[in-house]
């Protein structure tokens, strides 16, 4: 019998600053990353996936190496990224805690839903992880609306949706940053994203992982287990994801304790090896993870999570720290979860 961990408390002790604009009040691009969303449906055509790409996703659970940002856009995002880090290439000593947004020298730090300068708690395996930065800085705000991302997301969610439509309206769920410093960058243990998201239903989600640095096996590239998006368990007559086996991400192989023999045989990870400015798109049940960074340069990524319009709350608690409760059974709507793509725009 495997003993599963309890979800740790998430807090943000940063003092509230009333003179900081919460960018979630702006439900469209500000215009600093890529301009504005077009009213011309033809402008979205370059971002459409091919039938072959969609079939690959349906079969394997992920799609890899899609260019979504220019190098120049990545470099600009990385300048904003630095403001969220308590470490630099020469000094990792300040990256040493969970729930420490209050230590950032950053207006708007109180708006973060989650911030850990080192989620593993191990000084030799530093992993900075945060949620909610789209509310704080203009470029990360606009990133969630990027049509290079949202159009393929609509297609891929639709491909696995109960409807027979080719596109679905897409809402933003939440963002994440994962940063691994040089030499001592920590792992992200194998997991399924929806294991953390059962407070929302039905499962009609998708994750986009954008590399802001070239990813290699040495610096801890994202890795996928092809076909694992079919792995689930049965509970009360319903299909549920695999349980979370490590909320701190540090025990890389903890998931193997709860896999079946057949799943263990199928556990054959494939490295994404994403290039700078390229993204992977993966299913909410895709088992994925990444090993540590042992190179002389940082490995930084931006993650965008989405769901189809009509997704509902499955809890009477706040879906994310600091936002109003959406009662159980009610559609998730409002400024914290904006529509980022609607097929009627085409």
pLDDT tens figures, 202-236: 999 999 999 999 999 999 999 999 999 999 999 98
What is the maximum span of the chain, computed from C-alpha positions, in angstroms?
57
Do the domain assignments include residue 18? no
Do the domain assignments include residue 33? no
Report whether 143 contacts 33 (CB < 8 A): yes
Q: How far apart are CA 178 and CA 137, in angstroms?
A: 16
Report whether 171 contacts 332 (CB < 8 A): yes
For residue 159, the domain's CATH number is 2.60.120.620
Do the domain assignments include residue 99? no
* Strands 188-191 vs 278-282: parallel, antiparallel or unpaired: unpaired
Q: Which are the contacts of 145, defined by CB distance < 8 A and separation ≥ 6?
A: 28, 29, 37, 338, 340
Q: How far apart are CA 184 and CA 126, in angstroms?
A: 6
Do the domain assignments include residue 28? no
3-state DSSP call for residue 341?
strand
**Number of domains composing the chain:** 1
Do the domain assignments include residue 17? no
Q: How far apart are CA 12 and CA 101, in angstroms?
A: 6
String of DSSP letters for 152-183: HHHHHHHHTSSS--S---EEEEEEEEEEE-TT
* Residues of the chain below pLDDT 70: 1-2
Q: What is the pLDDT, as a whole number, of residue 162?
A: 82
Q: What is the pLDDT, as a whole number, of residue 1?
A: 58
Q: What is the pLDDT, as a whole number, of residue 5?
A: 77
Do the domain assignments include residue 197? yes
Residue that has been written with the tokens 């989620």 in this structure: 119
- Six-digit token string for 177: 């940053």
Q: What is the pLDDT, as a whole number, of residue 237?
A: 86
Entry pTM: 0.97
Do the domain assignments include residue 179? yes
Interval 50-75: pLDDT, tens = 999 999 999 999 999 999 999 999 99
Do the domain assignments include residue 163? yes
> What residues make up the domain containing 263?
41-87+114-345
């Amino acid at each position: 019998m495997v003993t599963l961990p309890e979800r740790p408390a998430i807090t943000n002790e940063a003092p509230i600053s009333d003179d900081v604009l919460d960018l979630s009040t702006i439900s469209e691009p500000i215009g600093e990353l890529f301009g504005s969303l077009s009213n011309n449906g033809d402008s979205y055509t370059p971002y459409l996936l091919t039938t072959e790409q969609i079939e690959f996703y349906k079969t394997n659970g992920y799609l890899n190496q899609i260019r979504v940002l220019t190098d120049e856009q990545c470099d600009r995002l990385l300048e904003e990224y630095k403001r969220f880090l308590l470490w630099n290439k020469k000094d990792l000593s300040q990256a040493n805690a969970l729930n420490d947004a209050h230590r950032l020298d950053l207006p708007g730090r109180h708006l973060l839903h989650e911030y850990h300068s080192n989620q593993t708690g191990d000084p030799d395996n530093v992993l900075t992880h945060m949620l909610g930065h789209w509310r704080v800085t203009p470029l990360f705000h606009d990133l969630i609306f990027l049509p290079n991302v949202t159009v393929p997301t609509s297609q891929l969610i639709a491909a696995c949706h109960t409807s027979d439509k080719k596109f679905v309206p897409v809402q933003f769920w939440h963002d994440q940053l994962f940063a691994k410093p040089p030499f001592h960058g920590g792992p992200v243990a194998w997991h399924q994203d929806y294991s953390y998201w059962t407070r929302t239903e039905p499962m009609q989600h998708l994750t986009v992982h954008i590399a802001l640095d070239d990813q290699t096996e040495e610096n801890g590239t994202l890795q996928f287990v092809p076909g694992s998006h079919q792995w689930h368990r049965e509970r009360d007559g319903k299909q549920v994801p695999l349980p979370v086996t490590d909320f701190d991400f540090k025990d890389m192989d903890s998931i193997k304790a709860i896999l079946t023999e057949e799943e263990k045989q199928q556990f054959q990870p494939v490295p994404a090896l994403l290039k700078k400015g390229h993204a992977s798109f993966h299913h909410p049940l895709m088992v994925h993870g990444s090993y540590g960074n042992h190179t002389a340069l940082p490995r930084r990524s931006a993650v965008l999570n989405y769901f189809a319009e009509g997704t509902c709350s499955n809890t009477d608690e706040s879906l994310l720290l600091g936002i109003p409760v959406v009662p159980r059974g009610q559609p998730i709507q409002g400024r914290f979860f904006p529509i980022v793509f609607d097929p009627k725009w085409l």
